């Protein structure tokens, strides 16, 4: 690298100035400033960062160029260019046609043009040497800067900025978890206030599940152990009315049946291409399912029902965060349903006892 080029890419005063500006508590604002710095120095069309979450094996994109994504992109790390970069821990370039269609679509919408090439640089954690971040450079000045220049430049910048980016994101995750706990407590309050009526409770459970995950519709199946079937009587949605006739499916039929049998959550991005998807419900209701999240409801260690959320409204599909919310929510569902069923049996027993007492008093006259 020539002296002039080195002075442009690794100017200590410029990096110091950048670091002095990264004082925001908002991670998106910090990323916008870093993106702008990388773009200007490397003469790229745009840049963006991909945060890699080791615990959930998930990739998160909050900002593309200077555009803050609402909502952020959050998806499992795919088996493509991104996965290759992470495993090899080496920079990699190519055509944007090699990127996933969803990522490219978001990118074009964010920066206003379709880039032709990309170059991604992995950033390693100084603590355990695993990849924590990937930096994408789009259509940078290849006549002036080589791939080696780009790799060294990004690595040098994040020697000073990485801690700020990761700590800010960790702070935001703590805020998110706090808000999630507060929401769950409110949800529990709303649900437990409807335990005296099973139909109202089912409707409230579906309403809360839909709100928590921003789903278009929710359906709830209860397990009928006597007939070994899943029964759905009420379907919830913003523009749907209660279905007048109940729907019954075999315990092992479709996605709901699979979840009831295995007791494991299923997150499906494209419903109609999934072999377990049962189209009968769409045909009966006229509803079009694009994607869905299906999770079990437990009582102790036994599955007593299944909830199925359809069509993520503020995203392409349900993500790992939605899965976490769903599994936490299912605990409250199980507790409330069992107490409601017990309450119903107690009321029925009281009614029978009352009738028996009245008959006894009548015959004793």
The per-residue pLDDT for 184 is: 84
Round to whole Å and give the CA distance between 145 and 332.
Answer: 57
The per-residue pLDDT for 86 is: 73
Q: How many CB atoms lie within 10 A of CB 36?
A: 16
pLDDT exceeding 70 applies to what percent of the chain?
Answer: 92
Write the CA distances from 56 to 104, 134, 193, integer angstroms: 23, 16, 34
The per-residue pLDDT for 247 is: 79
Domains of the chain as residue ranges with CATH:
3-173 (3.30.450.40), 196-340 (3.30.450.40)
351 bridge partner residues: none
For residue 88, how far is the Cα from the chain centroid? 27
For 301-327, the pLDDT digits (tens) are 889 999 999 999 877 788 888 888 899
Structure tokens at 322: 């939605």
The per-residue pLDDT for 118 is: 94
Which has more confidence, 171 or 232? 171
The per-residue pLDDT for 78 is: 65
Structure confidence at residue 167 as a pLDDT band (50, 70, 90):
very high
Report whether the peptide linkage leading into residue 296 is cis, meaning its omega lies within 30 degrees of zero.
no
Which has more confidence, 32 or 72? 32
32 bridge partner residues: none
**Least confident window among 59-73, 126-140, 273-287, 293-307:** 273-287
**CB burial readout 86-125, b (16+ within 10 A) else e:** beeeebbbeebeebeeebbebbeebbeeebebbbbbbbee
Write the CA distances from 302 to 68, 85, 260, 261, 296, integer angstroms: 43, 42, 10, 10, 10
Q: What SS3 class is residue 124?
A: strand
> CA dihedral in degrees (170, 173, 175, 179; nearest 10)?
-170
The per-residue pLDDT for 244 is: 44
Which has more confidence, 30 or 80? 30
Round to whole Å and give the CA distance between 90 and 283.
Answer: 49
The per-residue pLDDT for 7 is: 66
**CB burial readout 136-166, b (16+ within 10 A) else e:** bbbbbeeeebeeebbbbbbbebbeebbebbb
Q: How many CB atoms lie within 10 A of CB 176?
A: 11
Round to whole Å and give the CA distance between 73 and 91.
Answer: 22
The per-residue pLDDT for 243 is: 47
Asked whether residue 168 carries a pLDDT value surpassing 90, the answer given is: yes
Round to whole Å and give the CA distance between 89 and 119.
Answer: 13
pLDDT exceeding 90 applies to what percent of the chain?
Answer: 33
- Nearest CA among 185, 173, 171 for reference residue 328: 185
The per-residue pLDDT for 235 is: 59
Asked whether residue 1 carries a pLDDT value surpassing 70, the answer given is: no
Structure tokens at 70: 């609402």
**Least confident window among 74-78, 227-231, 312-316, 328-332:** 74-78
Structure tokens at 255: 């996605």
Structure tokens at 341: 């069923």
At residue 134, φ and ψ (nearest 5 deg) are -125, 130
The per-residue pLDDT for 180 is: 82
For 238-296, the pLDDT digits (tens) are 554 544 457 788 888 889 999 999 999 999 988 999 999 878 778 877 888 999 999 99
Eight-class DSSP state of 70 = E
Mean pLDDT across the chain: 85
The string of DSSP letters for 312-335 reads ESSSSS--HHHHHHHHHHHHHHHH
Structure confidence at residue 138 as a pLDDT band (50, 70, 90):
very high
User: Cα-atom radius of gyration of the chain, to the nearest Å?
Assistant: 27
Round to whole Å and give the CA distance between 271 and 293.
Answer: 10
218 bridge partner residues: 236, 309
Asked whether residue 198 carries a pLDDT value surpassing 90, the answer given is: no
Question: Contacts from 73-82 at CB under 8 Å and sequence distance 24+?
Answer: 73/103, 73/106, 74/319, 74/320, 74/321, 75/102, 75/317, 75/319, 76/320, 77/52, 81/120, 82/50, 82/120, 82/134
């Amino acid at each position: 690298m020539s002296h002039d080029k080195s002075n442009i890419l690794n100017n200590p005063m410029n990096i110091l100035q950048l670091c002095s500006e990264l004082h925001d508590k908002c991670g998106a604002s910090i990323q916008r400033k870093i993106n702008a710095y990388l773009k200007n120095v490397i003469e790229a069309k745009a840049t963006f960062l991909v945060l890699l979450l080791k615990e959930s094996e998930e990739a998160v994109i909050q900002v593309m160029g200077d555009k803050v994504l609402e909502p952020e992109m959050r998806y499992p790390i795919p088996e493509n260019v991104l996965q290759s970069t992470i495993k090899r821990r080496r920079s990699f370039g190519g055509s944007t046609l090699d990127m996933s269609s969803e990522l490219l679509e978001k990118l074009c919408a964010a920066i206003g043009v379709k880039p032709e090439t990309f170059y991604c640089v992995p950033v390693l954690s100084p603590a355990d040497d695993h990849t924590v971040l990937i930096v994408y450079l789009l259509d940078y000045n290849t006549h002036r800067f080589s791939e080696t220049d780009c790799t060294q430049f990004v690595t040098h910048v994040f020697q000073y900025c990485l801690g700020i980016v990761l700590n800010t994101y960790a702070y935001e995750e703590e805020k998110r978890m706090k808000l999630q706990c507060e929401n769950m407590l409110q949800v529990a309050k709303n649900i437990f206030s409807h335990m005296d009526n099973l139909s109202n409770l089912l409707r409230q459970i579906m309403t809360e599940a839909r709100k928590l995950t921003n789903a278009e519709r929710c359906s709830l199946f209860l397990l009928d152990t006597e007939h070994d079937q899943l029964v759905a009587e009420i379907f919830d949605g913003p523009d749907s009315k209660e279905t007048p006739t109940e729907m019954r499916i075999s315990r092992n039929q479709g996605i709901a049946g699979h979840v009831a049998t295995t007791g494991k959550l299923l997150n499906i991005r494209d419903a109609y291409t999934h072999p377990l998807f049962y189209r009968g419900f769409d045909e009966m209701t006229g509803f079009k399912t694009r994607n869905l999240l299906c999770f079990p409801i437990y009582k102790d260690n036994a599955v007593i029902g299944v909830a199925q959320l359809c069509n993520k409204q503020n995203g392409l599909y349900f993500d790992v965060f939605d899965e976490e919310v769903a599994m936490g929510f299912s605990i409250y569902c199980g507790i409330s349903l069992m107490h409601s069923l017990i309450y119903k049996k107690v009321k029925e027993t009281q009614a029978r006892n009352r009738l028996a007492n009245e008959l006894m008093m009548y015959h004793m006259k």
